[in-house]
Amino acid sequence: MKLHRLPAYAAAAAAALQLAGAGASATTTTTTTSTFEAHDFNVSAALEKLGVDISRLPEPEAGFIVREEGARCEYACKALTLLFNNNNNDNQILSRNTSAYAEFTAAYWAAQQGALQPLCVFKPKRTGDVSTLVLLSRLYQCPFAVKSGGHAALAGASSIDGGITVSLEHFQQVVVSGDRKTVEVGPGLRWVDVYMAVEKHGLSVAGGRMAPVGISGLVLGGGISHFASKRGWACDNVAAFELVTASGVVVNVSDSSYPDLYWALRGGGNNFGVVTKFTLDAFPLGDMWGGMRVYLEDAFPAVLDAIAEFTVAGSVEDQDAAEIITFASAPGVGKTVFANLHYSKPVADAPVFASWNNITAIHDTTGLGRMSGMANLLNQGAPASGGYETWWGISLKMDRPFLQFIVDTFYTQEAAIADVEKILLIMAIQPITESALDAMQKRGGNALGLDPANGPYFVLNFNAAWTKAEDEPKFHTVIANTIKLIKVEAKKRNLDNDFVYLNYASEFQDPIGSYGKKNKERLIQVSTKYDPRQVFQYLQPGGFKLVKGALNTEIPNVSLSRGGEL
């Protein structure tokens, strides 16, 4: 390929995007001056610096402007094949209509993600490969998605239709530092893998609570942890991020090297680059105590008392405790609550759980074990991969009488789809304690916008799973109705809170907007500084973007079987 023609082709493709009205801002220089990427940045020259032989890359015939995204991506996938297909049958590039491709797309946790069909799948093996991918995406103006664990319910979060899906599955390093204070973790791992590896050293990290959840999405979205009251969320326990930026440059981001970017990565999602390594804070941990207790409806008043007591007082007195309280209807049993209780010391029935210990459970799995075992235990009973999923989340201020209203509202609305075939429909209460809010402030704080002065809060999340695609509007309707009723009542009682946890947000919600105007403006400033061409807003379109609000503003409102409508 003629080197002097390549920048012209990239410009032509960019112009085509603007003419098509798709992602125009991706290729126009913003008014914010960036000292990180020069205004005359040359993509092909950057590729050459990475050792790419530009002359080998495919290009269209002279004078031909590729307007169609599919055609642009065909060239991008051909380029990846030329550069990375070494004929060793390692399947680093997967193409449509192959068994390896079909197995890859079928492995997504949510059916909505697996239904999307990228033109090709790229599996980089080193950080430099990711830099090459980002630059090729810019060169050919082909959009991409990045998959870490693929455990999102949101279509397009880590998958894409017609573009390139980048799977980080080869990034599976776990390296404990010599002083045992940090551990380097690759984004291709699941949290249970990390726990099992560091437990060999008598250590743990503040990460995901369920075994199969991936690393990147959880951390970049905030990441609730069992250790939150003492250490903050997962994003607050990252000492450094290895980040591939829009220019292909790799930077080590910490509170001392790139403090503005470091702040933004703590809750700002996938808007700033591709993380290829997380350096996590490590701490000593052997056995801990935890598990699940199941209660029937007659225990609900005592359960709600225990939730409020723990959130307001107990968690302040003892920061080693955590809980997730889930409400559902069990077949043949009726209204049921599942209390997942955890304590980061090898102490059974610690005093902080005194209220729980006084309630009679019909089933109890609590006991001593390692964090990896707790992650596996919490995952038991979770929906298997491949079903249709939706997650919704809101946050509220803690108040015992209001908890009763919330539970009553959930079960009233849930009855509207009692006759709809489902895998599950649950509502969970997860405290954001005052001590957790304080711990979030370390190293300059995170981007989430949670004010310690107004806490404690709790996250209220809803999860539905089902098997028939045509039933999706019904589940969205009943959850949206439930949330609307709860939010209206919360405002009346002065208990409402704007924050929406990104990892629980539905396509109809705007988590980044919920961080507050000041924080969103700050996130945009960071983005334009390090990504002036807005590559990660338009060429990586999936997930929650700074340039958008909710991905879908048309919330379904279908007729339900009985009751429940507003």
Between CA 476 and CA 558 the distance in angstroms is 9
Residues 45 and 109 in one domain: yes
CATH assignment of the domain containing 25 = 3.30.43.10
CB of 111 closer than 8 Å to CB of 133: no
First-to-last CA distance in the chain? 62
CATH assignment of the domain containing 403 = 3.40.462.20
Averaged pLDDT for residues 114-134 = 98
Residues 160 and 178 in one domain: no
- In one-letter notation, the amino acid at residue 484 is K
Averaged pLDDT for residues 434-456 = 96
Domain count along the chain: 3
For the chain, helix (H) and strand (E) counts, in that order, are 19, 20
Between CA 52 and CA 57 the distance in angstroms is 9
Quote the pLDDT of residue 20: 33
Q: Model pTM?
A: 0.93
Tokens 């050459």 correspond to what residue?
A: 48
Q: Is residue 537 part of a domain?
A: no
Higher pLDDT, 369 or 68: 369
Q: Is residue 560 part of a domain?
A: no
Q: Which of 432, 450, 33, 504 is nearest to 266 (CA)?
A: 450
Q: Which of 273, 248, 11 is nearest to 141 (CA)?
A: 11
Residues 111 and 218 in one domain: no
Q: Facing residues of 535 across strands?
A: none
366-418: pLDDT as tens digits? 999 999 999 999 999 788 889 999 999 999 999 999 999 999 999 999 999 99
Between CA 337 and CA 326 the distance in angstroms is 6
Averaged pLDDT for residues 306-324 = 92
Q: Count how many Cα atoms sit within 13 Å of the Cα of residue 383 in the half-sphere of its side chain.
A: 24
Between CA 416 and CA 485 the distance in angstroms is 15
Q: Is residue 68 part of a domain?
A: yes
pLDDT at 227 over 50: yes
139-184: pLDDT as tens digits? 999 999 999 999 999 999 999 999 999 999 999 999 999 999 999 9
Residues 370 and 234 in one domain: no
Quote the pLDDT of residue 61: 60
Range of the domain at 220: 174-284
Q: Which of 403, 381, 416, 417 is nearest to 300 (CA)?
A: 403
Residues 125 and 149 in one domain: yes
Residues 436 and 301 in one domain: yes
Three-point CA angle 180, 182, 186, nearest 5°: 125
Q: Is residue 527 part of a domain?
A: no
pLDDT at 33 over 60: no
Q: Is residue 157 part of a domain?
A: yes
DSSP assignment string, 386-404: TBEEEEEEEEEE--HHHHH
Between CA 212 and CA 225 the distance in angstroms is 15
3-class SS letters over 174-236 = EEECCCCCEEEECCCCEHHHHHHHHHCCCEECCCCCCCCCEHHHHHHCCCCCCCHHHHCCHHH
pLDDT at 49 over 60: yes
Residues 157 and 269 in one domain: no
Quote the pLDDT of residue 87: 60
Quote the pLDDT of residue 429: 98
> Domain ends where: 167, 189, 206?
167
Residues 415 and 301 in one domain: yes
Residues 303 and 449 in one domain: yes
Mean pLDDT is lowest, of 104-118, 124-138, 306-320, for: 306-320
Q: Is residue 92 part of a domain?
A: yes
> Domain ends where: 148, 167, 186?
167
Residues 84 and 191 in one domain: no
CB atoms within 10 A of CB 232: 27
> Domain ends where: 225, 250, 284?
284
Residues 184 and 146 in one domain: no
3-class SS letters over 169-189 = CCCCCEEECCCCCEEEECCCC
At 62, is the pLDDT very low, low, confident or very high (cuts 50, 70, 90)? low
Residues 376 and 501 in one domain: yes
- For the chain, helix, strand, coil in percent to 5 are 40, 20, 40
pLDDT at 502 over 60: yes
Q: Is residue 46 part of a domain?
A: yes
Q: Is residue 520 part of a domain?
A: no
